[in-house]
Structure 1
Amino acid sequence: MNYIIKTEGLHCGHCDAAVETELMKVAGVTDADANHETNTVQVECSGEVAAEALTAAVEAAGFKAVSVEAA
């Protein structure tokens, strides 16, 4: 299952990397691709992952997750 997370506060490649690193720690996440230009993160998962877990990972990186949508 894939998700798109809309975020706030991503300003550069280091921001992208921080979010990607935290998301990769979530069980079931197989890939994460953050884009500071669009303030979105595309997340690939091996199965269904709770939106709350994805939101918590973004916030652990120091950013705000505005929404999580299945893609």
Structure 2
Amino acid sequence: MNYTIKTQGIMCGHCEAKVESALLAVAGVTDAEADHETNVVTVEANGVDPEQLKAAIEGASDTYKVLEVTAE
């Protein structure tokens, strides 16, 4: 399943890398791509609850916030 996640607080390439690493550490996530210019993160995952994705992003930094998770 693919997810599109609207975020807030991802400001640079380093931030993108932190978010991507945190998401790839979640069991079932096969790909993650963060874009600080659009504040959108796209994730490919199997058997993952959207709350796990939200927790991974927000756990990567106190400044990262998830505004919306949409499953496609």
Q: Quick one: distance in 1 between partners of 2:55 and 2:10?
A: 16
Equivalent pairs counted in the alignment come to 70
Q: Quick one: distance in 2 between partners of 1:49 and 1:4?
A: 13
Deviation string, structure 1 residues 30-66 (Cα, Å, up to 9, x no partner) = 0000000000100011x23101100000011111111
Which residue does 1:38 correspond to in 2?
38
Aligned Cα RMSD in Å?
0.7
| TM-score, normalised via structure 2 length | 0.93
Stretches (4+) displaced over 4 A: none
Q: Quick one: distance in 2 between partners of 1:66 and 1:25?
A: 21
| TM-score, normalised via structure 1 length | 0.94
* Percent of aligned pairs with the same amino acid: 57
Which residue does 1:70 correspond to in 2?
71
In structure 1, runs of 5+ residues without a counterpart are none
Deviation at 1:21, TM superposition (A): 0.4
In structure 2, runs of 5+ residues without a counterpart are none
